Amino acid sequence: MMKWVKGKTIIRQYPRTTSTTFTKNSLVYWVSGLVAPADSTSGDHIGICIEDVASTDADFATAGVRIAVECPVDKQCEFEADVTGTLVTTSVGVAYDLSSALLVNQGATSKLVVTCTKFITSTKGFFVLNASYDTHFVVTS
């Protein structure tokens, strides 16, 4: 699970990828003009989606449906995230990859999409996005 813990955020509505499952409190990014769940190779993340989308939803395969995303307003917004691998106190200041839209991968350092800003436990920390899409100029109507 990921959740914003420090800094100003804004909630935006963006068109989501059709026939795609989204988990509340997971990181998302742009794919061909649509929001998609982040993965181990994604970059330019938009923010954290704040709703679930399941295959049983009536509009699951409907194009143009929007999803609510909580987006950072400044580059120093911090989010709390669960971690695969073992986070340690010396992880602060180190950049990592993701395992999935819900997990930071402490054992991977090729994409470097998040930086640890606070150690909480061996499986949880605070992070900032190293590259995030600037949502201020995206039209949401």
pLDDT digits over 62-106, tens only?
999 999 999 999 888 999 999 999 999 999 999 999 999 999 999
φ/ψ of residue 135, rounded to 5: -80, -10
Beta strand 78-84 with 103-105 is: parallel
Residue 32 token pair: 């061909």
Whether the predicted pLDDT of 138 surpasses 60:
no
For the chain, what are the domain ranges? 2-75, 78-129
Q: What is the pTM of this model?
A: 0.91
Q: How high is the pLDDT of residue 140?
A: 52
Q: Which amino acid is at 110?
A: S
Whether the predicted pLDDT of 136 surpasses 80:
no
Q: How high is the pLDDT of residue 79?
A: 98
Q: How high is the pLDDT of residue 133?
A: 66
For 37-44, what is the mean pLDDT? 93
